[in-house]
Each structure stands twice: as C-alpha cells, then as structure tokens.
Amino acid sequence: MIRVKNSIIPFKGFKAITLWPFIFFREEMNAVDWNHETIHGRQQIELLFVGFYLIYFVEWIFKGYDRISFEKEAYANQDNQDYLKGRKVFAMWKNK
C-alpha cells in the first residue's frame, strides 16, 4: 500500500484513512496503526471497494463507529502483525 502523509486527508480528528491502495495519514504512526489500516485495505479489496464504503457508511449511520464490523475486526487484530497471513475471507462477519 502507498503511504501518503498530508494535512488534508484524513479530516482533523482522524489519524489515518485507507482508500486503497493509499493510506493517508496526518501524524506519525506505529506498527499497530499501520496494521490496522492494512486490515482495512484487505477488507476493501474483498468487497470491491465500493461495497466496503457503502456498508461502512450504513453501519456507521445505524450502529455508530464502535460497532462497525470492519472496525471491530481491525481493532481486535491490530496488535497481531501476522494476522493478515492467515486471515479468512470476510472475517469481519465470521464468528470468532
């Protein structure tokens, strides 16, 4: 993924956003942050990008940020640097 540091994307209050194949970030990020965003990149590929953004938006509207399935998966696995090596397809919706 291509990392782009800038002051426009993401909006203030957010550290980073993945818009595959780019990760836009405002401030320095550690390995956990990069892993979190890379998990989002994989999710976006699986849902052919547009599907990811549509579902993300709908879940955000109806559930709020903390209950978005994509975020729950990314936060639950951001500390595991090997997570993507064994990640199952559509893992964000599979029971753990």
- Residue 27: which residues within 8 A CB-CB, separation 6 or more? 15
At 94 the pLDDT is 87
* pLDDT of the chain, 96 residues: tens digit per residue: 999 999 999 999 899 999 999 999 999 999 999 999 999 999 999 999 999 999 999 999 999 999 999 999 999 999 999 999 999 999 999 865
Cα distances (Å, whole numbers) of residue 29 to 9, 37, 57, 67, 77: 15, 10, 25, 23, 16
